[in-house]
Every structure is written in C-alpha cells, then in structure tokens.
Amino acid sequence: MSQDALPSLSQTSALIRARRSLKPTDCEAGRPVAPELWRELLENATWAPTHGMTEPWRFHVFEGAARARLGDALQQAYRDATPEAEFRADKFDKLAANPRLAPLVVAVVLERRGGAKIPEIEEVEAVACAVQNLMLSATAAGLASFWSSPPVLDAPPFKAWLGLGDEDRCVGLIYLGWPRAGLTPARSSRQPLANKLVHHHD
C-alpha cells in the first residue's frame, strides 16, 4: 500500500487520543451495530501482531437475545463461584444489566493452541493488541467501546458455559454501541511522557 493511502500520523494520533472507555450505560439503547460494521472491526482486530502466527484470539459475539443469556450466565457463575461473605448484590446486578444495555458484546478469548513454543504471556500480549485494534476501529466508526474484566470471567462455570478449554481465558467483555446523544465527552488523562521515558543516547 502506498503511503498516500494511509491516514497521516496526526490523524492516527488524534484517533488514538480520542478513544475513551464509554460504559454500556452511555450507549443508545436499541440502536444496533450493523453486522458489516462489527465484522470489519473484528477483521481489524485479527491484524494484530502474533508471535509464531498462532493468532490466539477468538471472538464470541453476543447480539439481541443472546446478550440476556450472557448476562444470566455471568450471574449464575458469580453466584456459584463467590463465597457468601464476599457476595455483592451491586456486582451481581451489573453482570446481568450491562450486556442488556449495549447492543453488542464481544467476549474476547485467548485460545492456547500454540503448544509450549510461544509463552502464554506473548499470547496474552497478542490478544491485547487485537483488542486495541478493535477499540480504535470502533472509535474511528464513532462507536463507544468499553473493556470490562470482571473476575467471574475466570470462574470455571463461566468458562464451561462459553465452551473454553482449561488453558483458554476470556480476557474481557468488550461492550460496543452508539454513544447516547448529548453525552458529555469522557475525560481521561495520562502522565507526561517524561515520567515514563528512559532515553539512552550518546
């Protein structure tokens, strides 16, 4: 591809800095995300770097009534896996509510099929890159995105419900939807680069 066909660095910087975590409650209820759009976002996700070409990501897309089934499964797994003293009604309620609020939920799974050749951390890193591709693409399309990682994703009953193997992991639920009209833009900040930079030079 010629350089001319690519977005400029300043456009890319603007896109990266414009991405904000917008919660399912920030989404316009009932406005769907067209299949051709979410498929393009997921295609972009698959263009993440992948050591050994293991492409360890799998995407479970929940739409329509399937979102309620996901919410119910999360609640059930939370009830099964949480000791009574630690049970929190607010968390329990949110597990069912969030998937019903956003029109699309993508459960992003790390599938370990590469054997011992590629360390697990590198598979996690590749999947995280795929999620970033997904969320930046969503931002470019004007969609809200939110990465949620409740501990119940690692609970055996939830993993079994999703059909995961022992070594597989659901690394997050990505909520996608159209931001509600009139939403005050979310604010976020980062520390100055100088706090994070070690510059080795002569």
Ligand X SMILES: Cc1cc2nc3c(=O)[nH]c(=O)nc-3n(C[C@H](O)[C@H](O)[C@H](O)COP(=O)(O)O)c2cc1C
The contact set with ligand X (CB under 6 A) reads 20-21, 147-150, 172, 186, 188
* Minimum CB–partner distance for residue 179 and ligand X (Å): 13
Closest to ligand X by CB, 10 or 188? 188
Query: CB neighbours (10 Å) of residue 126?
Result: 22
Closest to ligand X by CB, 6 or 97? 97
* Minimum CB–partner distance for residue 149 and ligand X (Å): 4
State the residue for tokens 């000791």.
Answer: 83
Closest to ligand X by CB, 13 or 149? 149
Closest to ligand X by CB, 160 or 186? 186
**How many whole angstroms separate alpha carbon 122 and alpha carbon 21?**
25
Closest to ligand X by CB, 50 or 148? 148
**How many whole angstroms separate alpha carbon 193 and alpha carbon 199?**
11
* Minimum CB–partner distance for residue 5 and ligand X (Å): 29
* Minimum CB–partner distance for residue 155 and ligand X (Å): 15
3-state class of 170 per DSSP? strand
Looking at residue 102, its amino acid is: A
* Minimum CB–partner distance for residue 4 and ligand X (Å): 31
H, E, C per residue of 76-130: HHHHHHCCHHHCCHHHHHHHHHHHHHCCEEEEEEECCCCCCCCCHHHHHHHHHHH
* Minimum CB–partner distance for residue 175 and ligand X (Å): 10
Closest to ligand X by CB, 56 or 172? 172
Distances (CA, A) of 182 to 28, 32, 48, 138, 144: 11, 18, 33, 19, 13
DSSP 173: E
Distances (CA, A) of 92 to 11, 53, 105, 161, 167: 40, 38, 18, 17, 26
